[in-house]
Amino acid sequence: MEEAKAFNRIESFDIFSSNKLKEILGSERMTYVYLKKWIEEGKIVKLPFFFYSLIDKNTGKYKANLYELACRVEEGAFLVLVSAGKIHGINLPETDTIYVSTNKRFALKEFDGWYFKPRILPDSFGIVKKNSIRYTDYTRTVVDIIREFDKYMSLNEFLEFLDSVKELNFKKIKEILKAYDSNILFQKVGWLNEEGLISVDNPVELSEFCISRIGKSHRFFCKDAKKGGIHIARWQLMVPEELMKQVR
């Protein structure tokens, strides 16, 4: 196939792999000849994970959506935590990291000031897809962030996050909590719900559900609670003083 015809075919893809070009050309040798030539001519750019993107003639920028790229790392990959939260419009701190859940870990990748970081999370529940981007749904995203927020934000940023979360559906949050079956998650969500720091359409049932599953161990709400906190006997939970100020 002539080079011009091959490029015209590729122009219909914002992101493509060398295998896709090879499929079009029918030649492995010419695939790499054209890839090298088009990169040198500034027509395409090489992306992480062995993908390529066309360069927009008007802006000089690559056409690839990096969230879509992250979802192509492997079949079934999906965005999680802060990355999913940004899609949902939740108030979260700015970050240069895209968190993607995969079955296999990969080394941290950097492209154009963005970092792709793997997180291995269950893929059997709470996943939605829009266009070519897969990500956790609203309720699961909120639960995931509550579960391990202190890896991604300060306590003050967590409070701002909570303030921006819209009312949650009891049945949905119950389904997600049951899927994780984590004592500390039952404690954290149960306490936040009971104190009104998250809004749920059936708070009484959620409290009863969570309290029945917290186990017997005393746990810390987050790292800050280990530095100084207040013990909540009902939930067997040590809560940081800064968070307790919100409920006094």
Q: What sign has the CA pseudo-torsion 63, 70, 173, 147?
A: negative
- Residue range 121-154, pLDDT digits in tens: 988 899 999 999 999 999 999 999 999 999 999 9
- Residues facing 119 on adjacent strands: 101
Given pLDDT bands bounded at 50, 70 and 90, which one contains residue 1?
Answer: low
Mean pLDDT estimate for the chain: 94
Given pLDDT bands bounded at 50, 70 and 90, which one contains residue 228?
Answer: confident
Domain 3-64, CATH 1.20.120 — does that match? no
For residue 22, pLDDT over 90 is answered with yes
For residue 213, pLDDT over 60 is answered with yes
**pTM score, two decimals?**
0.92
Range(s) for CATH 1.10.10 in the chain? 3-64
Given pLDDT bands bounded at 50, 70 and 90, which one contains residue 48?
Answer: very high
- Residue range 53-107, pLDDT digits in tens: 999 999 999 999 999 999 999 999 999 999 999 999 999 999 999 999 999 999 9
C-alpha span between 11 and 195 (Å, rounded) = 54
Given pLDDT bands bounded at 50, 70 and 90, which one contains residue 171?
Answer: very high
What order of strands is seen across the sheet that includes strand 219-220?
219-220, 237-240, 229-232
pLDDT at 93: 95
pLDDT at 248: 56
pLDDT at 186: 98
Give the count of beta carbons closer than 10 Å to the beta carbon of residue 79: 25
pLDDT at 96: 97
